[in-house]
Structure 1
Amino acid sequence: MKAEPGAMEVFRDPRRPVDERVAGLLGRMTRAEKAAQLGQRLPGWNIWSRTAAGRLQVEPMLDEEAARRGGIGAIYGLQRADAWTGSDWSDGVRPEEGAELAALVQERVIASSRFGIPALMVEEAPHGHQALGGTVVPVPLALGSSWRPELAREAAARSASELRARGAHIALVSGLDLLRDPRWGRSEECYSESPYLAAQFVEATVRGIRDVPGVGAVLKHFAAQGAGIGGRNGSGAPIGPRELAEIHLPPAHAGVRAGAVGVMAAYNDIDGVPCVADRALLTDVLRTRWGFDGFVMSDMFAIDRLQTSGATPAQSASLALRAGVDMSLCDEAFEHLEDAIERGLIDDTDLDLACGRVLGVKVRLGLLDPPSPAPSFPPPPDAVWARELAGAGAVLLSDRSALPLKANARVALLGPLASAPGALLGDYVAPQAEGVARSLRDAFAQRSPGLAAEPGCDLQTPLDGGIARAVAAAATADVAVLVLGGTSERGYDDDFQSNGAGLPGESAFRATSGEGFDMAEVRLPAAQLSLARAVTATGVPTVAIVISGRPHGLGDLVDSCAAVLWSAFPGPAGADVLVEIVYGEREPTGRLAASLPAASGTLPAASDERIETTSRYVDADAGAPLPLGAGLGWTSWELSEATPFTAHVATATDAGLEATLRNTGARGGVQLVQLYARAVVPGRTPRRAVLAGFARVAAAPGEEVPVRVGVDPLALEPLGDPRSGVLELWLSMEGSTVPESRVRVAVSG
């Protein structure tokens, strides 16, 4: 039965405040209808199919689900395409069909609701919409290595425009996880190990999505998933409140301030309390302290996982709801909300709060306003922009005058990733149309017609005779180029967990990175290191290009190769831009967004870990040989001695350093001047080196440029927000290595 027209006027009136519109609707809804708005049970790819004639049609399960309670809160992954869903270009939703399918689904959802409430269409977009024809951009770790947040904003706006054109409203975007353990397979979804740098990129990502009306960002994962024990996916974070506040919360706080409409509560626990049941996290911090008025979504099946602690489905639902979770994701537990109320585990006020938050997001995104047609799918991105995005995060780690390559050099292209275009893309990627992504072999072949190519080994295993063939190819070349690292590429015959994470089998899996692909050792696999040793032993100048989704230990390559270029998964344009760098046509301006440790035994390696009593093992140093911020360009630089703005400041944000930067080389270039800080406060163990600001500076040969870098307010939480004591500050062009001499600035108050 439809509501009276007069009863709908308040919540349909776009001139009224959001709270009034929500209250006008909430007061007329039944308990079942409210519970329906918290539901996101059906995976979207299961609720549609094609007729024999190839037309899209809705499956009966959608009508059954919508009619059961009188509506649906959200639908996840309607257009998701990947190996887990089984959708590809033969049967998946093409860009031109997306809006049509969304409209078919919404028509049924709206018809089931007395008040005509549409469902939120929720799509994965960690680095581009995970749908056929979606623009794949570099993974967050690659974007973070650019140190250019404006690129993340542009990439996010592109993804949001594609989502909106396909009838979607919510982009699930990565960025809240800090890269504290490179063994974790999802390291590629992190912007940085630095809370400050990650916060800048999260803020930019949210603003980019907000640039497109009708689309909102839900940030994942909240919180501390990057602190999991042993780098194992979903494992607990055994950290205290100071570590949580200073390291893992700043990116989320920045995203909330920037206007995210939601956050996703993570799988993991923090000190034994699962995030989806952590009221201190989801209510006290997120809502009370930060003033967040959006909604909290659980990660897939995370609420059901509470049953491993002995909770019944009704108890699991009530624990999550009272903690602050407003919407589930495919959980069955939220089907027991009404039962939980009847049993006194929660009450109608709890239900009203959650439902009101979900409805508030729907109002803000325009779902309850008169419908307007979806915009046209945007044309393909500009090729120059795509290449700039793909190349901005590439980091030159070492170069003994081997680069740039000469145009007529005979190249032997070796290594297991040289001929694999899919290895450039990362996790959470839909199948690409023919010709969208190229391999490094394709890109090199355009410049070197006589290119010799041999894999030498597989990603983790030797190939029979592979090294001998690679050595023979190198012996006939002027330069050997090794393409090493890892990949998140999945196969359609692979096995998956219920949430889509990989289940490695004996031989089916190629992936060594991504969700479900954690590694015990961060050094490159032995097969790849054996190949590198054999090739460099020939005496032929060897350049290593390392493509990966995590910080690998690359000390062996840096010591033995003439040059090493590293890139997190750069996307479809990656092969072309990496070759442009190797030939000197593009400057490598990226700098490491996360430290590269020597080996797993020397973890943790982040630059802002707390100062330790001992800094070495009997058999190894504990530091990272390639720290946060490291990287080279095509020219040389000198930085003068830094001086403070003032010797005594009222607040930490008044502090900073200035110096003169001079380009001492023969080429123009771009340098990244980084400001690091250490808060020396009595009674508190300081962090070793906290990134507090940075400046990108361009200079012509011989040019001197003044540089002034202040402590950014976003860096205060990682510093422990010092109110008094001393700030030790220093400027660096080589990363976070702590110099012996540092400028000391007293902070009063």
Structure 2
Amino acid sequence: MPTPEPAAARAEVVAQDPPLYRDPTAPLATRVADLLSRMTLREKVGQLNQRMYGWDAYRRTPDGGYELTDALRAETDRFEGLGALYGLMRADAWSGVDHTNGPGAHDSAALAELVQRHVVERSRLGIPALFVEEVPHGHMALDGTVLPVNLAVGATWDPALYERAAAHAAAELRARGGHVALVSALDIARDPRWGRTEECFGEDPHLAARLTEALVRGMQGTPADYFAPDKAPVVLKHFAGQGATVGGRNSAESELGWRELREIHLPAARAGTRAGAAAVMAAYNEVDGLPCAGNRALLTELLREEWGFEGLVMADGLAVDRLARITGDKLSAGALALNSGVDLSLWDEGFTHLEEAVERGIVQEAVLDAAVGRVLNLKFRLGLFERPYRTSELPSCEHGRALSADLARAAVTLLRNRGLVLPVPPTVSRIAVLGPQAATTAHQSGDYTAPQRPGTGSTVLEGLRRLAPAGTDIRYARGCALTGDDLSGVPEAVAAAAASDLAVLVLGGSSARTPETDFAANGAAIGAVSHMTCGEGADLAGLGLGRAQHALMDAVVATGTPTAVVLIQGRPHVVPDSAHALLTAWYPGPWGGDAIAEVLLGLAEPRGRLPVSVPRSVGQLPVHYNHKDTEYGGYVDESAEPLFGFGEGLTYTGFEYGAPRTDGRRVTVDVTNTGSRHGRSVVQVYLRRLVTDVWPRTLELCAFEGVELAPGETRTVTLRLDVELAGTRGAEIRVAGSSRAALTAVPLPLPVRA
């Protein structure tokens, strides 16, 4: 155990004026080392604790302002400062924060300054706190721009568009006084029964990697020593393998070998860290028997030593204390997490005992100092010692709304269009808009969404009424609720459909929480309200929409009126192959109603492609295109192939691909719009390994690019191949518009690189 620094020597160091760590021109490493040399063991431990729920730090005053709570004062007294504070601006049913008692867009910065002034004044060395906020699909705060969920972002196959949206979210966060963004990006959707499927970019590691890079570029900007005032360091979550939990059950075990982990679940994290991500969050699940928060092989040997990651590692909520099941008590649980590579806790008690752990020799002070140094480094990079309070202006809310609508529009995916009932032809003068999702925005935004002000957003019904040609008769009937067995509204819906030229049936699920939801200590739903069929803690055993919705669909289709089904959902549901047209919009955000209406009416083209495979039944699971290249036979009673495959999506025009060419590093292909409408094709390049050291996968996406073409236009598209061929002695590539089309596409041998 290191010898404690003599008090006289410490006093002499602290007495230096001005202290070196206050010099903004000094190198970051020098500033960190100087500040560390001045800190007591207690102060160091305080920097690694992130214990409070931020909404417990303040309360509204009668005059509409804010005051600090005794809970915040006690927390800052405990460690003579505050390392980080989670969720100061979080608003939702779990926190109990809404527009009556929480900070909005124009007073969040004042609240953040009030808390920060207290922290800095209470700290002997004037160390500011990190304000850590949830930004899953926009800043989860009152009046924050809500974006479509990650699964919808995955459906856009458009990293550039997502990068612009991520930049806006970061600017909102920083303008309101927040510093660090927690963003889901690393989970790969391998079982759609998992309630957090909506937080995944999809089932494919390459697609997720490209979108994770876009996220980091957008939120953090160009890698540099210091963050711009409108940029926010990103905590990528969850590291790693959380999307592969057994049975699709939240926080369950993951039966993963290291090869599966590296091939499927780590590429997005690798891409994000290479792009400069400031931090990652250790996941709840275990890998090879060890929970991620206590997995040294994952957090230190792979992340830090093999990848060279120098950023911060944060534990997920209460994950450190869970390690006591292995170690026997919370003190040793905290020691295990720190020694494994965790730098910053989240709500745990385990890290509060680190001072004693050092004194008992369970933790070396050098290990503690390294973790504290990473926390301080991030604070210096944010410029908090020079500018501890807000320094940027709020970006335009209209700009944020436009970006949200653009993402929603790009995510709408057309999967079936029998009889070409879409876009709605000019001969249609009567449209029945039906279903439990048709006239509400409450279920369009997914989990981790702050309460919205009345009138925010647009429903499908409102969008169609506003955008349909003048004189179109649009009638509405709800038909049924999202869940339950009440069929009393079905006759009204059937009558409306029978009297119309087209029925638009809007079905789906919901991740919306209400104050009636029961929550676990980490915020996961444990007693979901009746309408909640998705989200954290809302896992399903089946993938049907529910008895009432299926009955409504059967009854409407039986009228003989052409029917277009629109799904608003956070996971792929199993839907009967009976309607003429089928679209999925995922959770498109508040403005998704307009986006869906535009696509239905032909005012916008369907641009989305599936980021996940859609199963025929739950009995097929798991279903994903990049399975191992074995004898993938069918079942006696059902096909083993998905109903719709990864990468699929129809358009209102047609595309033709020429013969691809490659030099081994790039692939070039001519794409022609053969139809009569403008459209977007997504060129997808798949790798097929032929002879390898280990058993290969059937296909692996290795490049993609969207291309916009006018009718009759041909364009040459060149894509850089993202291919790792170690251990491969022969390979070919296939260029197609989906993974299923790639199976029969003409193969192009991939030459060995020099």
Confirm or deny a common fold (TM above 0.5).
yes
Partner of 1:262: 279
Q: Does 1:434 align with 2:451?
A: no
> Would you say the 8 A contact 2:83–2:129 is kept in 1?
yes
CA RMSD, Structure 1 to Structure 2 (Å): 1.9
Alignment match, 2:79 = 69
Do the aligned residues in 2 keep the contact of 1:297 with 1:328 (CA within 8 Å)? Answer: yes
SS at match of 2:750: strand
Q: Match for 2:581: what amino acid?
A: A
| Superposition pairs of residues 297-312 of structure 1, within 5 angstroms | 297-309=314-326, 311-312=328-329
Of 707, 715, 731, the residue aligned with 1:727 is 731
Whichever residue aligns with residue 269 of structure 1, its letter is: E
Matches within 5 A, 1:355-504: 355-371=372-388, 373-382=390-399, 384-400=402-418, 401-406=420-425, 409-446=429-466, 447=468, 450-504=473-527
Code of the residue aligned with 2:681 in structure 1: it is Q
- Alignment check: 8 A CA contact 2:734 2:745 kept: no
Instruction: Report the Cα distance in structure 2 between the residues aligned to 1:234 and 1:711, rounded to whole angstroms.
Output: 35
Alignment partner, residue 668 of structure 1:
678
Q: Does 1:704 align with 2:714?
A: yes
Say which of 251, 269, 272 aligns to 2:268. Answer: 251
Cross-structure match for 1:180:
190
CA shift, 1:250, in A, is 0.8
Give, in angstroms, the shift of residue 5 of structure 1: 5.3
Q: Letter of the aligned partner of 2:336 in structure 1?
A: L
Task: Give the equivalent residue in structure 2 for 1:213.
Answer: 228
Q: Deviations over 1:632-657 (max 9, x none)?
A: 11101222233x324xxxxxxx3444
Within a 5 Å distance, the mapping from 1:112-131 to structure 2 comes to 112-131=122-141
Structure 1 Cα separation of the partners of residues 532 and 598 of structure 2:
27
Out of 548, 551, 554, the residue aligned to residue 530 of structure 1 is 551
Q: Distance in 2 between matches of 1:432 and 1:459?
A: 20
Q: 1:670 to 1:63 in 2, by over 3 A?
A: same
The answer to whether the 8 Å contact 1:424/1:547 transfers is yes
Residue 630 in 1 paired to residue 648 in 2?
Answer: yes
CA pair 63-253 structure 1, distance change in 2 beyond 3 A: same
Provide the residue aligned with 2:748 in structure 1. Answer: 743
C-alpha deviations, 1:337-372, integer Å up to 9, x for none?
Answer: 112223322121121111111111111111122546
Distance (whole Å) between structure 1 residues aligned to residue 560 and residue 344 of structure 2: 60
For 1:544, what is the secondary structure of its paired residue? strand
Q: Could you say what secondary structure the match of 1:674 adopts?
A: strand
Cα distance in structure 1, aligned partners of 2:160 and 2:173:
20
The code of the aligned residue for 2:732 comes to E
Instruction: Write the distance in 2 (CA, Å) between the matches of 1:703 and 1:324.
Output: 54
Q: Structure 1 counterpart of 2:734, which letter?
A: W
Alpha-carbon distance, 1:733 to partner: 1.4
User: SS of the residue aligned with 1:95?
Assistant: coil
Give, in angstroms, the shift of residue 411 of structure 1. 1.2
Residues 577-623 of structure 1, C-alpha deviations (whole Å, 9 max, x = no match): 10010000000111111111112211111211212333211111222
Which region of structure 1 is more displaced relative to structure 2, 381-390 or 320-329? Answer: 381-390
Instruction: Tell me which amino acid in the other structure corresponds to 2:351.
Output: F
Shift of 1:417: 1.1
Query: What displacement does 1:310 show?
Result: 5.3
In structure 2, C-alpha distance between the alignment counterparts of 1:656 and 1:623, rounded to whole Å? 31
Of residues 656-665 and 295-304 in structure 1, the stretch that sits farther from structure 2 once superposed is 656-665
Q: 2:503 touches 2:564 (CA, 8 Å); kept in 1?
A: yes
What corresponds to 2:591 in structure 1? 573
Match of 1:517 in 2: 538
**Cα deviation code 1:386-427 (max 9, x no counterpart):** 422221111111112101113552111111111220111111
Check the 8 A contact 1:673/1:696 in 2, yes or no. Answer: yes
Alignment correspondent of 1:650? none
Counterpart of 2:646 in 1: which secondary structure?
A: coil
CA contact 1:627–1:735 (8 Å) conserved in 2: yes
Q: Deviations over 1:166-187 (max 9, x none)?
A: 1111010111101111111111
Question: Offset of 1:490 from its aligned partner?
Answer: 1.0
Give the superposition deviation at 1:290: 1.4
Distance apart, 1:676 and its partner CA: 0.5
Tell me if structure 2 keeps the 8 A contact 1:156–1:208.
Answer: yes
* Counterpart selection for 2:27 from 4, 9, 17: 17
* Post-superposition offset of 1:704: 2.4
Cross-structure match for 1:605:
623
- Residue from 319, 331, 353 that aligns with 2:348: 331
The structural deviation recorded for 1:295 is 0.9
- Aligned residue runs from structure 1 range 268-283, under 5 A: 268-283=285-300
Within 2, Cα distance between the matches of 1:77 and 1:153? 24
Structure 1 contact 487–548 (Cα < 8 Å) conserved: yes
Q: Which deviates the most, 680-689 or 186-195?
A: 680-689
**CA distance in 2 between partners of 1:709 and 1:189 (Å):** 28
Aligned match for 1:582, one of 589, 600, 604: 600
Aligned counterpart in structure 1 of residue 158 of structure 2, from 119, 126, 148: 148
User: Which string of whole-angstrom CA distances, capped at 9 and with x for unpartnered residues, describes residues 469-489 of structure 1?
Assistant: 221221111111110111111
Q: Deviations over 1:127-178 (max 9, x none)?
A: 1000001000111111111111012211111111111111111010111101
TM-score for the superposition, normalised by structure 1: 0.94
**Partner amino acid for 2:461?**
R
Secondary structure of 1:160's counterpart equals helix
With normalisation by structure 2, the TM-score equals: 0.94
Deviation at 1:4, TM superposition (A): 4.1
Report the more deviating stretch, 514-523 or 655-664. Answer: 655-664
Q: Is the 8 A contact 1:304 1:331 kept in 2?
A: yes
CA gap 1:370/1:398 in 2 versus in 1, 3 angstroms = closer
1:545 alignment partner, one of 528, 542, 566: 566
Q: Counterparts of 1:681 and 1:249 in 2: how far apart (Å)?
A: 23
Q: Note the 1:33-112 alignment, pairs <5 A.
A: 33-112=43-122
Report the CA distance shift for 1:456/1:462 in structure 2 as closer, same or farther (over 3 A).
Answer: farther
Question: Of residues 668, 680, 699 in structure 2, which corresponds to 1:689?
Answer: 699
Change in Cα spacing, 1:218 to 1:7, as seen in structure 2 (3 Å) is farther
- Contact kept, 8 Å, 1:8 with 1:115, in 2: the verdict is no
Q: Is the 8 A contact 2:645 2:739 kept in 1?
A: yes
Aligned residues of 1:395 and 1:591 also touching (Cα < 8 A) = yes
Name the SS of the counterpart of 1:423 in structure 2: coil
- Is the aligned partner of 1:191 residue 2:201? yes
Aligned residue type for 1:743 = L
More deviation in 248-257 or 463-472?
463-472
Give the corresponding residue for 1:651: none
The answer as to whether partners of 1:200 and 1:254 remain within 8 angstroms in 2 is: yes
Cα distance per residue 1:189-247 (max 9 Å; x no partner): 11121111101111111111113625211111111100101111111111101111111
Distance 1:612 1:621 in 2: 16
SS in 2 for 1:317: helix
Percent identity over paired residues: 44
Amino acid of the structure 2 residue aligned with 1:405: V
Cα distance in 1 between the residues matched to 2:718 and 2:214: 22
Report how far residue 445 of structure 1 moved: 3.1
Q: How many residues align?
A: 730
Q: Quickly say closer, same or farther: Cα 1:682–1:385, change in 2 above 3 A.
A: closer
What letter is aligned with 1:213? A
Contact kept, 8 Å, 1:522 with 1:600, in 2: the verdict is yes
